[in-house]
Amino acid sequence: DVKVTQSSRYLVKRTGEKVFLECVQDMDHENMFWYRQDPGLGLRLIYFSYDVKMKEKGDIPEGYSVSREKKERFSLILESASTNQTSMYLCASSLSGSYGYTFGSGTRLTVV
Partner 1 sequence: EDQVTQSPEALRLQEGESSSLNCSYTVSGLRGLFWYRQDPGKGPEFLFTLYSAGEEKEKERLKATLTKKESFLHITAPKPEDSATYLCAVRTSGGSYIPTFGRGTSLIVHP
Chain residues binding partner 1 by CB under 8 A are: 4, 31, 33, 40-43, 45, 48, 58, 90, 92, 96-106, 108
Q: How far is the CB of 55 from partner 1 (least distance, A)?
A: 13
Q: Please say which residue, 18 or 94, places its beta carbon nearer to partner 1.
A: 94
Three-class secondary structure of residue 76 per DSSP: strand
**C-alpha to C-alpha distance for 23 and 91, rounded to whole angstroms:** 6
Contact of 68 with 76, CB cutoff 8 Å = no
Q: Please say which residue, 14 or 96, places its beta carbon nearer to partner 1.
A: 96
Total residue count of the chain as it appears in this document: 112
Q: How far is the CB of 80 from partner 1 (least distance, A)?
A: 26
Q: Please say which residue, 41 or 52, places its beta carbon nearer to partner 1.
A: 41
**41 to 4, 20, 85: CA distances (angstroms):** 23, 23, 14
